[in-house]
Structure 1
Amino acid sequence: MINKIFALPVIEQITPSVSLRKIDELEAIVVDHPQARGSFTLQGAHLLSWKPAGEEEVLWLSDNTPFQNGKAIRGGVPICWPWFGPGAQADLPAHGFARNLPWALTAHNEDESGVSLTFELQSSDATRKYWPHDFTLYARYKLGKTCEMELEAHGEFEVNSALHTYFNVGDIADVKVSGLGNKYIDKVLNASLGQLTDGVQTFPDRTDRVYLEPEECSVIHDASLNRSIDVIHHHHINVVGWNPGPALSVSMADMPDEGYKTFVCIETACASAPQKATADKPARLAATLRVAKKA
């Protein structure tokens, strides 16, 4: 799927490294820079892929996901905002509306180290159907040898949010994640409290955990791809570790039946408690990704 995106015809060459293209119904921004390749859809300001020069793809994107107006994309980095998980009412979209609406590309810059992009979403009649507040939400990215992501929400309200990052791995059976802290809410087991004994998470089956005391950096140890990935969290309360396992993976139309084997989600989040945005102080959530080393 990612190779298909880079083969799409160019609609507009915005800068030497940044172009506008279209994948099915959605406009896409493609970054092809000496330090990194990456891609986004304007819907959701959704980072689909990031590949630093000389490395394997860092993010995972489903081959089955639809690129249709208003439909959530499976993979990459969905922006969950202004709530995380199911909506307060049954007719509200899961994980909020920000990932399903079109954003505007409002700023871009490139230099020898990489490409920076800013996307913007403002309150509108479309958002007020779901949520009564006025807001301006920025998503800023810098793609180079590292990947920097930041959400900045202006207005007066409380929100829950997550950068729901899908990481490409060789085999989920060979993945361990450290730096999560020990205490977690287990959403597979009816939100019961759980405790790691050694600070290391593995994924033998369906896993959905909201870690309550995470460290600043989570490390994905991937024995199959012979690498580790640092996920450095900023302004977060939680880190979420998720993999659907085989049964749920088969039930999901936008995921290959064995898709669960080749990704893990380690999410920078404010899930167990809300963040407050005020007129003086925006709410922020950010993460920095880097391929740390090859074992």
Structure 2
Amino acid sequence: MAHTLTESTLHGLPVLRIETPLCTAALSLHGGQLLSFVPAGAGEVLWVSPLATGAPAAIRGGVPVCWPYFGRENQPSNVPQHGFARNTRWTLEAPREDADGNLHLGLSLPGHPGTPLRLRQILILGTGLQQALTTHNPSERTLSLTQALHSYFAVGDARQVHIEGLDGLDYDDKYSGQTLTQRGHWHLSDPRDPGRSDRIYHAAGGHYVLHDPVLDRRLRITTTGSHAVVVWNPGQAGAQGMADVPDAHWPAFVCVEAANAARDVVRLAPGASHTLAQAVEVLPAA
């Protein structure tokens, strides 16, 4: 086999270290959470807080799986933020390689008394990253869910990043409570609320490019199975209130989250399934 999986640590967190000729990666079974992805010849794609804690807490960084609800949407106030998938140990299936050298990893979430829905995740690791969440409804009634792949993308300086693919979209500003319209590229210096961002964009097209002039690269992000995307960075003041984000580290990431959230609710009939997916490619600066 051309790949290896070994037990290791990342910032003190237990992980499976994955090595292939095309990339390296790190995966936490707690949360079923990808914590590192480095294509051969490129830099780290994901950010993980050096202060992140592991089980039983959720891990700050990488790609947390928010499921079966996003935030606490349509839920009681006492439930865990973003659901229980990111606080549960997942089961890893036997990996396989395809003819192109990509490594396929399947993970399943154990059943939970909080929902009859079942969840499986597929990771395809190669020169790019592909990730998919498939939810199945084995019950005899229609059920609803919201969810997200809460990706923390590593950037050289969030204050210099801009994101294409959002111009003209309406978004819910979670800070102001308003619904506004994006004008031009997303950037943290937006005069309507400079220095921070917590936005759920509606009727999103699923094609975004994160331009990073400091790291001299672009991340092309393609999503399917959703009509919403979340763009989040807490800014300096917000990070100061977060115990697991060092004060100086808030400019080191921008979250671009493939999501079914807010207006974009998935309703699954009995026996039906739904897949939310993203693909991430690292490209040179334009």
Same fold at TM > 0.5:
yes
Q: Write the mapping of 1:84-99 to structure 2, written as runs, cut at 5 A.
A: 84-86=70-72, 88-99=75-86
Provide the C-alpha distance between the structure 1 equivalents of 2:32 and 2:21, rounded to a whole number of angstroms.
23
Q: CA deviation at 1:278?
A: 3.1
Q: CA deviation at 1:22?
A: 5.6
Q: CA deviation at 1:266?
A: 0.3
Does 2:124 correspond to 1:139? no
SS in 2 for 1:122: coil
Structure 1: segments with no counterpart, 5+ residues:
1-13
Q: Is the 8 A contact 2:211 2:285 kept in 1?
A: no
Q: CA deviation at 1:26?
A: 6.0
Q: Which amino acid aligns with 1:201?
A: W
Match of 1:50 among 37, 49, 53: 37
Q: After superposition, give the CA deviation of every residue in 1:21-75 in whole Å (9 maximum; x if it has no partner).
A: 46699652211111000011111110001000011101111111012x2201010
Match of 1:281 among 256, 272, 279: 272
Match of 2:24 among 19, 37, 52: 37
Structure 2: segments with no counterpart, 5+ residues:
190-194
Q: Is the 8 A contact 2:95 2:106 kept in 1?
A: yes
Question: What residue number does 1:166 align with?
Answer: 152
Q: Is the 8 A contact 2:7 2:16 kept in 1?
A: yes
Q: After superposition, give the CA deviation of every residue in 1:123-164 in whole Å (9 maximum; x if it has no partner).
A: 2xxx32xx2x32321011011101000000111421100000
Q: After superposition, give the CA deviation of every residue in 1:234-265 in whole Å (9 maximum; x if it has no partner).
A: 10120100000001111111111021111000
* Comparing 226-235 and 15-24, the one that deviates more: 15-24
Provide the C-alpha distance between the structure 1 equivalents of 2:91 and 2:84, rounded to a whole number of angstroms.
15
Aligned residues: 273
Q: Is the 8 A contact 1:26 1:43 kept in 2?
A: no
Does 2:163 correspond to 1:177? yes
Q: CA deviation at 1:19?
A: 2.2
Whichever structure has more strand as a proportion of its residues is: 1
Q: CA deviation at 1:292?
A: 2.4
Identity of aligned residues (%): 33
Q: CA deviation at 1:86?
A: 2.6
Provide the C-alpha distance between the structure 2 equivalents of 1:46 and 1:154, rounded to a whole number of angstroms.
20
Q: Is the 8 A contact 1:212 1:237 kept in 2?
A: yes
Match of 2:102 among 114, 119, 125: 114
Match of 2:203 among 213, 216, 220: 213
Provide the C-alpha distance between the structure 2 equivalents of 1:240 and 1:271, rounded to a whole number of angstroms.
9
Do the aligned partners of residues 276 and 18 (structure 1) sit closer, same or farther apart at CA in structure 2, a change above 3 Å counting? same
TM-score by length of 2: 0.90
RMSD between superposed Cα atoms in Å: 1.9
Q: Write the mapping of 1:186-197 to structure 2, written as runs, cut at 5 A.
A: 186-190=173-177, 192-197=178-183
